[in-house]
Structure 1
Amino acid sequence: MTLTVTDLAIARGGVPVLEGLSFTLAPGRALILRGPNGIGKTTLLRTVAGLQPPLAGRVEGAEETIAYAGHADGIKPPLTVTENLKFWAQVFGTGDIAPALKAFALTDLADRQAGNLSAGQKRRLGLARMLVTGRPIWALDEPTVSLDRDSVAMFAAAVRAHLGQGGAALIATHIDLGLEGEVLDVGPYKARPRPVEDFDGGFL
């Protein structure tokens, strides 16, 4: 399934941030989003993932195909690592969580409560969720936050494996993950300031 974004305009808090953005993401490919903080990368990912509507434009090929991982790890602290992954596997109707545990070195932590994990371990658990979704397109927002060098390499390996199986990845990140893929700088698509429509001329 190819993800196609055409002439997209998006807003954050009602304020336009990006406009005129178009790209395609084919199976087996990664697209790395770059741009300064606050430019709208998170808003773009959330819009593509269907978590908020666009102002204009189209997103095609996303319905029931995208798994999104944002700044929050998406884990339940009272549950164990295993219980967290089983919960998400049930939500997405998938099965075996063992590959996800292994891919992110969580096997030895399988029975530990998520609330007792370190920040890096929580992040790895949050990313392991992607492997149990069964979704072909991963939308990842700064996925390496809190990860050490070895864990970053672990994550990059998981993405490569996903791409090798025909999956795709849309990733907002400031670091080089060593992935083969295109880079999209969203800076040139910054929305132009809109004129104020309700200005009271009586204040002139």
Structure 2
Amino acid sequence: MTLKVTDLCIARGGIPVLTGVNFTLAPGAALILRGPNGSGKTTLLRTLAGLQPPLGGRIEAPPESLVYAGHADGIKQVLSVAENLTFWARVFGRRDIDAALAAFELAPLADRAAGTLSAGQKRRLGLARLLVTGRPVWLLDEPTVSLDAHATALFAAAVRAHLAEGGSALIATHIDLGLAEAAALDVAPLRARAPAPDDFDGVFA
């Protein structure tokens, strides 16, 4: 499934953040979003995921092909690791969670309540949700936060396996995931011009 973005303009709080965003993410490909903090990477991912509308431009991809993983892990604290994954699998019409447990080495923790996990373990569980969705296009915002080197390697391996199966990934990250085949998009040059202080109408356009 191909994600194509054409002349996209996005905003945060009504103020334009990025303009003229263009890229194509083909099956089997990864694209790394680069740029300093506050440059618009999260806003771009949230817009692509359908969590907020764009100001202009086109996003071409069936909504049911996309899955977004943001800063929150999206887990239910009172449920066990296995129950969390089972819940999300059923949301997406699926049942098998074994591959997700194995990919992120969560099988020994399957019966543990999510609320008792460490920050890194919770992050691994949050990322394991990606594997139970069955969706081909992953939109990932700083996915390695709270992960140690070994868990980061597990995540990178999961991404490589996803790409090998024809999936794709758009990843905002500041670290090197070792994805030699991944292209990069620096959003810094795409920053929108800030509205003049007296441009009241422009801010809320």
TM-score between the two structures when normalised by the length of structure 2: 0.95
Which position in structure 2 is the counterpart of 1:202? none
Which position in structure 2 is the counterpart of 1:68? 68
Q: Does 1:37 align with 2:37?
A: yes
Q: Does 1:123 align with 2:123?
A: yes
Which position in structure 1 is the counterpart of 2:8? 8
Secondary structure class of the residue paired with 1:64: helix
Secondary structure class of the residue paired with 1:16: strand
Structure 1 residues 181-200: aligned runs within 5 Å: 181-195=182-196, 196-198=198-200
Measure, in 2, the Cα distance between the counterparts of 1:42 and 1:94. 28
Measure, in 2, the Cα distance between the counterparts of 1:83 and 1:167. 25
Secondary structure class of the residue paired with 2:71: coil
Which position in structure 1 is the counterpart of 2:152? 152
Measure, in 2, the Cα distance between the counterparts of 1:48 and 1:24. 13
Measure, in 2, the Cα distance between the counterparts of 1:35 and 1:198. 28
Amino acid of the structure 2 residue aligned with 1:10: I
Measure, in 2, the Cα distance between the counterparts of 1:88 and 1:14. 32
Coordinate RMSD, CA, aligned: 1.0
Q: CA deviation at 1:15?
A: 1.2
* Residues 127-181 of structure 1: per-residue CA shift (max 9 Å, x gap): 0000000000000000000000000000000000000000000000000000121
Q: CA deviation at 1:14?
A: 1.1
Q: CA deviation at 1:21?
A: 0.6
Q: CA deviation at 1:62?
A: 4.1
Q: Percent identity?
A: 71
Instruction: Could you tell me which runs of 5 or more consecutive residues in structure 1 were left unpaired when the two chains were aligned.
Output: 200-204
Measure, in 1, the Cα distance between the counterparts of 2:195 and 2:115. 45
Q: Which has the larger radius of gyration?
A: 1
TM-score between the two structures when normalised by the length of structure 1: 0.96
Deviation >6 Å, runs of 4+? none
Measure, in 1, the Cα distance between the counterparts of 2:98 and 2:91. 17
Secondary structure class of the residue paired with 2:63: coil
Instruction: Could you tell me which runs of 5 or more consecutive residues in structure 2 were left unpaired when the two chains were aligned.
Output: none
Q: How many residues align?
A: 199
Amino acid of the structure 2 residue aligned with 1:108: P
Which position in structure 1 is the counterpart of 2:165? 165
Q: Taking structure 1 as reference, are residues 174 and 198 closer, same or farther at Cα in structure 2, changes over 3 Å only?
A: closer
* Residues 103-145 of structure 1: per-residue CA shift (max 9 Å, x gap): 0000000000000000000000000000000000000000000
Measure, in 2, the Cα distance between the counterparts of 1:25 and 1:181. 10
Measure, in 2, the Cα distance between the counterparts of 1:174 and 1:62. 28
Measure, in 2, the Cα distance between the counterparts of 1:120 and 1:129. 15
Q: CA deviation at 1:197?
A: 3.3
Amino acid of the structure 1 residue aligned with 2:157: A
